[in-house]
């Protein structure tokens, strides 16, 4: 007897970032013009390839700053694949909720590891600071996964800020690296890029603590009502 497939609970997607409306228009425009042979899985792979390109650009900046252009191209490719895979599935009404949720978030983790790992290899960001940024991201990921389980909702933005806005910030940071950064880092002293990435990591950790307390209170109220 075949084992029944697990049924995914409907999950509300909450997205209130600054660029959400404009980005949705662009994604719908792209979905309507996407060739029929292009499938969401192809776009997911493109997103991961984009993250590999970002990693390569940062790592190669050890040899020459011009390689940072490769990282910027990688951000565009990664946005295209990561933002469009789920959008195309919903546009064509071919969603696979459990599979899509699992693969999408797994690839997001790999992409973030590649991006921050590339920064750590580059001459601009200390490895311990990049690790702090990764810890912040992983803690917020844990919050998203737990919220999906206990609240059936996935929040894609916080404080009007989401993945697309973050990519713009990282592209800007990369441009500063090219044209105004510490190009020859021979000491362990903290520089401006360390401060920026470190503060981002601390902000994510603080946001995780805040959201944990907020969600805990919300769940407590809900369970008291249900008694």
Q: Is the pLDDT of residue 4 over 60?
A: no
For the whole model, what pTM was predicted?
0.88
pLDDT in tens, 62-115: 999 999 999 999 999 999 999 999 999 999 999 998 898 899 999 999 999 999
pLDDT in tens, 118-171: 999 999 999 999 999 999 999 999 998 898 888 888 877 777 778 888 899 999
pLDDT in tens, 86-96: 999 999 999 99
Residue in 138, 134, 154, 133 with CA at minimum distance from that of residue 215 = 154
- Domains along the chain with CATH numbers: 13-226 (1.20.120.1760)
Mean pLDDT of the chain: 88
Q: 10 Å Cβ neighbour count for 3?
A: 5
Q: Of residues 145 and 13, which shows the higher confidence score?
A: 145
Q: 10 Å Cβ neighbour count for 29?
A: 10
């Amino acid at each position: 007897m075949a084992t029944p497939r697990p049924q995914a609970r409907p999950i509300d997607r909450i997205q209130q970032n600054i660029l959400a409306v404009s980005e949705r228009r662009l994604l719908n425009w792209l979905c309507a013009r996407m060739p029929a042979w292009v499938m969401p899985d192809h776009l997911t792979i493109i997103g991961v390839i984009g993250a590999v390109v970002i990693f390569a650009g940062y790592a190669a900046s050890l040899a020459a700053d011009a390689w940072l252009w490769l990282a910027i191209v990688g951000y565009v490719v990664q946005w295209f694949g990561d933002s469009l895979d789920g959008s195309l599935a919903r546009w064509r009404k071919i969603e696979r909720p459990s599979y899509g949720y699992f693969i999408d978030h797994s690839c997001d983790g790999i992409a973030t590891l590649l991006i921050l790992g590339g920064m750590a290899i580059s001459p601009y960001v200390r490895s311990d600071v990049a690790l702090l940024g990764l810890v912040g991201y992983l803690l917020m990921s844990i919050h998203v996964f737990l919220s999906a389980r206990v609240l059936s909702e996935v929040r894609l933005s916080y404080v009007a800020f989401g993945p697309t806005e973050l990519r713009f910030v990282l592209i800007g940071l990369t441009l500063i690296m090219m044209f105004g950064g510490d190009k020859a880092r021979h000491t362990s002293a903290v520089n401006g890029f360390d401060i920026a990435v470190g503060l981002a990591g601390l902000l994510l950790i603080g946001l995780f603590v805040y959201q944990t307390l907020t969600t805990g209170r919300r769940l407590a109220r809900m369970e008291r009502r249900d008694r």
